[in-house]
Amino acid sequence: MSDAVTTDSADRVTEVEIQPLDPAAFEPLIGPERMARFRSAAEASKRLLGDRRVFNVNSTAIGGGVAEMLQTLLAYARGARIDTRWLVIEGDPDFFAITKRVHNGLYGGPGDMGQLDNTEHRRYEVVMERNTEGIVGRVRPGDFVILHDPQTAGLTHAVQKAGAQVIWRCHVGHDSSNQWTERAWQFLRRYIEAADAFIFSRAGFAPEWVDRDQLYVITPSIDPFSAKNQPMSPLNVRPLLGYVGLLDGTLEPPRVPFTRRDGSVGKVRRFADVLENGPAAPAHAPMVLQASRWDRVKDMTGVMTGFAEHVDPALGAHLMLTGPAVFGVADDPEASEVLLECMMAWAALPHEARNRIHLSCIPMTDPDEAAAIVNALQRHASIVVQKSLAEGFGLTVAEGMWKARPIVASAVGGIVDQVVHGEHGLLIDDPHDLPRFGAHIELLLTDTAYAYDLGRNGRERVVEEFLGDSHLERFGSLFQALS
Ligand code: UDP
């Protein structure tokens, strides 16, 4: 870490433009009754808020689950005439190294083994101070400010001083406490203890000092109409993946466009970075997919080893491990290291396994285009995997379920709230249990009728529980409780 820490008054905060989306789009999925309930909840929130605004503050506009969700959830809130805004703070490498350490700690791990002492507090606070003016300069007394994750926790006091109410939303967590969770919570406690409310994806993630009256459990949601999840004909999936280099086959650009979040038409033009030097996955072979950030907690190398050692090559399946291009996600400083570990693990595999395991990165320059590529991958996959060592929620699971894919995942964190073992997918109790992981994959590759049923159930579950209308209604109840 460099020694120089400076503060100045420049505006470090970026406001992300939000194009309203009409929540009426949900009606064919959720039916008229649920739609009517949503409409009246939205009207009630609108009356309650009056001219107060709802700000969301996080540390990246692209990459990872929080940005993924805010992109569309806030658009539907705007469409429901709630004045909501999205601000992104600016950090520097030292700051993101510290917040990543805290993030890893909340997931129960040591991260880079660095300290979380006074020096780190000071460096963290300097970045918070640099961003304070940009936030409080935009906020008015009475507004609600939702601060997301450790990266923004240190803004709590300044925002409250400006007269707004602070809701701290935590998207990560571990099912039990250990020395690393304790240390991470100790780091954060002084910043967030005074928040007006806390949102966790699971009640069990909250530390004991969070007052239960201030604790709200709100599960994330996916947008069925975003470029990530919108319908895509099977006829278009293979050409798209062939063109970007993830499947063998055509080099013709895909003819059929996708719809961007602003409603305009988009075309996939960029190629994926294919990181292994063998032939691309054959288009006809069953694909097992894990699409995640390059984060150790996602255990990409564990998925690779489990597949190489415990999935019979005679079944003809190929594994695709894919993640965002490593410079694409500003607040994720370990990504390139984790990707490199993965590439080295791949190079050490026996030749036979290397032929059926593929590593790739998806360019993030155009987030809608990147989303369309992930959409195609998830639709092409025979099985969607999320073998995380810990998981806050795991949007990739809901995304796979929405596409009627059977899931194989570890029974950790928010994954357990999405997948019931044997109903929507198959879970492994111990994320390190690679033989069981392999056996689950083999079962779903061979019993395709069972795999189909799990996928169909999963899609229904997403409609019931993980769409934006329920998510926004829960926010409405929270604003009511705080008013
Ligand atoms: N994702 C993506 N490109 C990739 C890999 C993942 O857009 O190459 C997306 C994925 O589809 C999901 C999000 O990143 O929407 C990850 O969210 P999740 O909750 O699964 O995990 P997080 O990154 O928040 O830990």
374 within ligand 1 shell (Cβ under 6 A):
yes
Note whether residue 228 is domain-resident: no
The stretch 17-29 carries a mean pLDDT of: 96
Q: What is the pLDDT of residue 329?
A: 66
Atom of ligand 1 nearest to the CA of 323: 8
Do residues 363 and 275 make contact, with C-beta atoms less than 8 angstroms apart? no
34 and 164 assigned to the same domain: yes
Q: What is the pLDDT of residue 263?
A: 87
Q: What is the pLDDT of residue 233?
A: 87
Q: What is the pLDDT of residue 251?
A: 73
The stretch 54-76 carries a mean pLDDT of: 95
Q: How do strand 54-58 and strand 84-88 relate by DSSP bridges? A: parallel
What separation in Å is there between the alpha carbon of 455 and the centre of ligand 1? 20
pLDDT band at 256 (very low <50, low <70, confident <90, very high): confident
332 within ligand 1 shell (Cβ under 6 A):
no
395 within ligand 1 shell (Cβ under 6 A):
yes
What separation in Å is there between the alpha carbon of 269 and the centre of ligand 1? 21
Atom of ligand 1 nearest to the CA of 391: 25
155 and 241 assigned to the same domain: no
- pLDDT, averaged across the chain: 95
290 and 344 assigned to the same domain: yes
Q: Residue 1: is its pLDDT beyond 60? A: no
Note whether residue 341 is domain-resident: yes
396 within ligand 1 shell (Cβ under 6 A):
yes
Q: How do strand 258-259 and strand 54-58 relate by DSSP bridges? A: unpaired
Q: Residue 6: is its pLDDT beyond 80? A: no
Q: What is the pLDDT of residue 9?
A: 56
Q: What is the pLDDT of residue 254?
A: 78
Q: What is the pLDDT of residue 113?
A: 94
264 and 279 assigned to the same domain: yes
Atom of ligand 1 nearest to the CA of 297: 25
- For 288, list phi and psi in degrees, rounded to 5: -105, 130
Q: Residue 243: is its pLDDT beyond 60? A: yes
- Report pLDDT digits (tens) over 337-376: 999 999 999 999 999 999 999 999 999 999 999 999 999 9
Note whether residue 227 is domain-resident: no
Do residues 365 and 266 make contact, with C-beta atoms less than 8 angstroms apart? no
What separation in Å is there between the alpha carbon of 332 and the centre of ligand 1? 12
190 and 251 assigned to the same domain: no
- Report pLDDT digits (tens) over 203-232: 999 999 999 999 999 999 999 999 999 999
Q: Residue 130: is its pLDDT beyond 90? A: yes
324 within ligand 1 shell (Cβ under 6 A):
yes
Q: What is the pLDDT of residue 7?
A: 47
DSSP for residue 254: P
Residues whose CB is less than 8 angstroms from the CB of residue 118 and which lie 6 or more positions away in sequence, other chains included: none
Please tell me the distance from the alpha carbon of residue 463 to that of residue 53, in angstroms, as a whole number. 29
Does pTM surpass 0.85? yes
What's 110's domain CATH number? 3.40.50.2000
Residue nearest atom 9 in ligand 1 by C-alpha distance: 64
Q: What is the pLDDT of residue 328?
A: 61
413 within ligand 1 shell (Cβ under 6 A):
no
293 within ligand 1 shell (Cβ under 6 A):
yes
What separation in Å is there between the alpha carbon of 248 and the centre of ligand 1? 25
- Report pLDDT digits (tens) over 416-437: 999 999 999 999 999 999 999 9
Please tell me the distance from the alpha carbon of residue 78 to that of residue 133, in angstroms, as a whole number. 25
258 and 181 assigned to the same domain: no
400 within ligand 1 shell (Cβ under 6 A):
no
**Ligand 1 site-directed mutation target among 258, 268, 374, most atoms within 8 Å of CB:** 374
Atom of ligand 1 nearest to the CA of 322: 8
65 within ligand 1 shell (Cβ under 6 A):
yes
What separation in Å is there between the alpha carbon of 71 and the centre of ligand 1? 13
DSSP for residue 236: H
Give burial (CB, 10 Å; 0-12/13-18/19+) of 365.
exposed
Please tell me the distance from the alpha carbon of residue 303 to that of residue 287, in angstroms, as a whole number. 13
- H helical segments located in 228-293: 234-244
Q: What is the pLDDT of residue 402?
A: 98
Please tell me the distance from the alpha carbon of residue 336 to that of residue 344, in angstroms, as a whole number. 12
Note whether residue 226 is domain-resident: no
Note whether residue 229 is domain-resident: no
Q: Residue 457: is its pLDDT beyond 70? A: yes
Q: What is the pLDDT of residue 2?
A: 38
Note whether residue 456 is domain-resident: yes
Do residues 374 and 283 make contact, with C-beta atoms less than 8 angstroms apart? no
Q: What is the pLDDT of residue 106?
A: 98
**Ligand 1 site-directed mutation target among 368, 387, 396, most atoms within 8 Å of CB:** 396
Residue nearest atom 6 in ligand 1 by C-alpha distance: 292
Residue span of the structural domain in which 314 resides? 234-465
CA distances from 43 to 46, 48, 100, 381, 472 (A): 5, 9, 39, 40, 12
- Report pLDDT digits (tens) over 26-64: 999 999 999 999 999 999 999 999 999 999 999 999 888
264 and 304 assigned to the same domain: yes
**Ligand 1 site-directed mutation target among 274, 395, 410, most atoms within 8 Å of CB:** 395
The stretch 229-240 carries a mean pLDDT of: 92
What separation in Å is there between the alpha carbon of 256 and the centre of ligand 1? 24
Tell me how many domains the chain contains: 2
212 and 343 assigned to the same domain: no
- For 52, list phi and psi in degrees, rounded to 5: -80, 145
- For 225, list phi and psi in degrees, rounded to 5: -110, 0
CA distances from 37 to 33, 42, 72, 74, 127 (A): 6, 9, 20, 19, 42
3-state secondary structure of 416: helix
Do residues 43 and 273 make contact, with C-beta atoms less than 8 angstroms apart? no
Q: What is the pLDDT of residue 220?
A: 97
432 and 478 assigned to the same domain: no
Q: What is the pLDDT of residue 252?
A: 77
291 within ligand 1 shell (Cβ under 6 A):
yes
Note whether residue 95 is domain-resident: yes
**Ligand 1 site-directed mutation target among 293, 303, 401, 402, most atoms within 8 Å of CB:** 293
Please tell me the distance from the alpha carbon of residue 310 to that of residue 357, in angstroms, as a whole number. 13
Would you tell me the crossing angle of helices 448-465 and 434-446 to the nearest 10 degrees?
100
49 and 103 assigned to the same domain: yes
- H helical segments located in 113-267: 118-136, 149-153, 156-161, 179-192, 234-244
- Report pLDDT digits (tens) over 372-411: 999 999 999 999 999 999 999 999 999 999 999 999 999 9
What separation in Å is there between the alpha carbon of 162 and the centre of ligand 1? 34
Note whether residue 342 is domain-resident: yes
116 and 252 assigned to the same domain: no
323 within ligand 1 shell (Cβ under 6 A):
yes
What separation in Å is there between the alpha carbon of 68 and the centre of ligand 1? 7
103 and 203 assigned to the same domain: yes
The stretch 261-283 carries a mean pLDDT of: 90
Q: Residue 154: is its pLDDT beyond 70? A: yes
